[in-house]
A and B are shown apart, each in its own frame.
Chain A
Amino acid sequence: MSAYAATDDHDHNYINWEKGFWSWWMSIDHKRIGLMYLGTMLMFFAIGGFFALLVRIELFTPGETIMGAADYNTAFTLHGVVMIFLFIVPGIPATLGNFLLPLMIGAKDVAFPRLNRLSYWLYVLSGGVAVLAIVFRLDTGWTFYAPYSVQNSTAVVAATTAAFLGGFASILTGVNFLVTIHNMRAPGMHWGRLPLFVWTLYATAILQVVATPVIGITLLLLILENVFGLGVFDPDLGGDPVLFEHMFWFYSHPVVYIMILPAMGIVSEIIPVFSRKPIFGYRAIVYASVGIAAISFLVWGHHMFVAGMANLTRYIFSFLTFFVAVPTAVKVFNWISTLYKGSVTWDSPMLYALSFVFLFLIAGCTGIHLATLSTDAHYHDTYFVVAHFHYTIQGGAVIGLLGGLHFWFSKMFGRMYNEKLAKVGWLFLFIGFNGAFLPMFILGMEGMPRRYFDYPVEFTTLHQMATIGAFVNGLGYLFVFGNLGYAVFRGKKAGTNPYESLSLEWQTPSPPAHDNWETIPIVTDWTYGYGKPEDDESHAGH
């Protein structure tokens, strides 16, 4: 155990602190857990992406292209289940959040390091169980709508058990982060100085803690329904399938904010650094983050406008859905105002941050069509929804994650990726992504229903554009992760703080030492004081 003594030595960091598989698997270090989460998650991202490409190949021509209708149902279901429950739900909080939260608030670890490790173990277990769903060929769609989901028991039970375990992991992360942010902040790091990424992690953690138990009980009821025939969701037994939809979306709407809020936090960190200006409207962004979290609980009904609902309920859900656009727009305006008159540099993290704003704007504006009762009746369950959703989650959450990975890469590994290749990768991604999903808006408007195996011949061109776009998109990911993966081992050594960020996490060596800080830092200012002379407390901007 002599290694413990080495923490004073600057050549030792959290990566080379101890070696071997078990030193990682058993580690309670938030940085290692974050990296393990990242590695496992990206593996599932690749699997989910593989299924997405299968779907796109199949849709290249009308009728059967490479697989039959039943296989197609399995392919799009597994794409959804893997991407949602194993990739983007743990998403940014479990990876960058885990790695950065204690560093950003000046703590040596999260409040419950062992729970953090348990969260990762449960996540791995959930991934293992999910493989069974692949084996048994789940074909319900990722939403598990009853009554079909009570007729296909084995695969549904496997997939929902996996999602249940994943939910447990998510709750543990949420509890951990809430307590960490409340109790572990360094002296001087008061609430008004918290980095915005931390604020969004806080809002996300509230969502994880409040919403996840509801999907837990919903999935448990679905499992029991399949095993014992409870009669809660199965209409043959007197149950109500619409109740399943209500309970499912009570979680699954807030969960899109679990995915997107931390990405907004990342963008709020990147934009000030690369425009050398203090973030505009710090407080407004904080309130907007918490406000989005609060309102997100009250809009689930917009997934069910055509599923049978009283008109008054429809109006309320529609209004609240519009309302959630307000805090979201507040953020967009603040980011743009931060850019205004800044000295903007176009490094790859900034490219991702700006594409986030651009793509998320499209996502938000198309959301208005879906929140409007009259137009939703037409767009519901069409490719318009598919496109809107992917603009939010891939164009938002995934692009945000990539921005964060590029921004904090040298923090995590002490090395720098090839900037030129990073930009080329970004270009592929951006073109491919828009190529894949812009045509889907048009397909949806023209009436192409989602999840259909076949389509009329006149949709062929748009479908083929989408398929080609999806492959360019996939190439982009290969390129980006190839570049980053190579740099993990062979990248040039990076300085401690290559972007001259003022944030606390950059004040440690890169990569950080095992226990982050030799002595807990004392915070005297907020983190966004760019472009000003050493000018004490007066961050009058907020």
Chain B
Amino acid sequence: MGHDESLPPGHFSYFEPEQAYHSSKLGMWIFLATEVHLFGGLFAAFAIYRWRYLEQFNEFAQTLNWKLGALNTVFLLSSSYWMVRAVDAAQKGLNKKVIKYCNITLLFGCGFFVVKFFEYKAKLTHVPPIVPSTHVFYGLYYTMTGLHAVHVLVGVVAIWWVRGLAKKNRYSPVYYTPVEVVGLYWHLVDVVWIYLYPVLYLLAGVSLGVATAH
């Protein structure tokens, strides 16, 4: 929580920098817990319907492009690595490096959308088109990946904002809260994908007792 000049002096000078830092971090962790529950509902629904329509789920899972999914996994994991570097740089007050690392993170984040675009396009231009109402499997596939993509988008915007503060030289060894908090959020987006990818793309055939390679 920074000292924003546009605000009345009263309210923000209330908080010691230390207190503000810990509060922001705790707040973000609690918020991440709510995110886990948000996606948790979807995973629960997926588990229930997979059990109910096992054969169809196995069949449809094979229509997903696991290679593009793997590429996106690489993109998100790499972006998380550069986000960590950005946090580290901010803690040392190296604003220029923060900008650089944020740029790389953003690049991977945008790469994720490019891949996603081709994935969705292939589904929608398929004959007949594969849409959410094709089967509950695709309904959940679009919902889960779509909701995740919305989170990636929010993350990209947030990292852009963090980068903007670095441009104004705002970070120093005593103030780097935004980078750290946005970093936490970005890792969650990453972690959600790490669960989404195997559940949606790689489970095809597994519970039939056959480890299908495809």
Contacts and interface: CB of A to CB of B under 8 A. Distances in A.
Contact of B27 (A175, A217, A231): A175
Contacts of A368: none
Contacts of A176: 27
A57 to B, nearest CB: 39
A533 B110 CA distance: 68
Contacts of A338: none
A214 B36 CA distance: 10
Q: Is the interface of A mostly helix, strand, loop or mixed?
A: helix
A213 interface: yes
A224 B1 CA distance: 35
B3 interface: no
Contact of A175 (B30, B37, B52, B131): B30
Interface string A118-129: 000000000000
A148 to B, nearest CB: 19
Contacts of B133: 228-231, 237
B48 A240 contact: yes
B9 interface: yes
B68 interface: no
A238 B138 CA distance: 12
Contacts of B39: 217
A171 interface: yes
Interface string B120-148: 00000000000111011001101100010
A211 B36 CA distance: 11
B19 A228 contact: no
A232 interface: yes
Interface stretch (A178-186, A410-418, A421-429, A482-490): A178-186
Interface residues of A, number: 47
B42 interface: yes
B32 to A, nearest CB: 10
B38 A217 contact: yes
Contact of B14 (A4, A108, A210): A108
A193 B31 CA distance: 27
Interface stretch (A109-117, A287-295, A379-387, A521-529): A109-117
Interface in A1-26: 1, 4, 7
B30 A238 contact: no
B22 interface: yes
A188 interface: no
Contacts of B11: 28-29, 108-109, 113, 515
Chain B: number of interface residues, binned into ranges? 35 or more
Interface string A206-239: 0001111110111011001100111110000111
B45 interface: yes
Contacts of B7: 28
A377 interface: no
Contacts of A247: 41, 44-45
A514 interface: yes
A232 B34 contact: no
B38 A228 contact: no
A112 B14 CA distance: 11
Interface string A163-181: 0000000010011101100
B40 interface: yes
Contacts of B31: 171, 175
B50 to A, nearest CB: 13
A183 B45 contact: no
B26 interface: yes
B10 interface: yes
B19 A214 contact: no
A1 B5 CA distance: 13
Given A28-B7, A237-B133, A240-B48, A232 B23 contact: no
A230 B143 contact: yes
Contacts of B41: 213-214, 217-218, 221, 247
Contacts of A111: 15, 23, 27
A243 interface: yes
B118 interface: no
B157 interface: no
A171 B32 CA distance: 11
A67 to B, nearest CB: 36
Given A4-B10, A515-B10, A232 B30 contact: no
B209 interface: no
Contacts of B44: 247
23 contacts: A1-B8, A4-B8, A4-B10, A7-B10, A28-B7, A108-B11, A112-B27, A171-B31, A174-B30, A179-B23, A183-B19, A209-B33, A210-B33, A214-B37, A217-B37, A220-B143, A221-B42, A221-B143, A229-B132, A230-B140, A232-B45, A238-B136, A243-B45
Given A108-B11, A111-B27, A231-B139, 8 more contacts: A107-B14, A175-B31, A179-B26, A179-B30, A210-B34, A213-B34, A216-B38, A232-B45
Interface of A: 1, 4, 7, 28-29, 107-109, 111-113, 115, 171, 174-176, 178-179, 182-184, 209-214, 216-218, 220-221, 224-225, 228-232, 237-240, 243, 247, 514-515
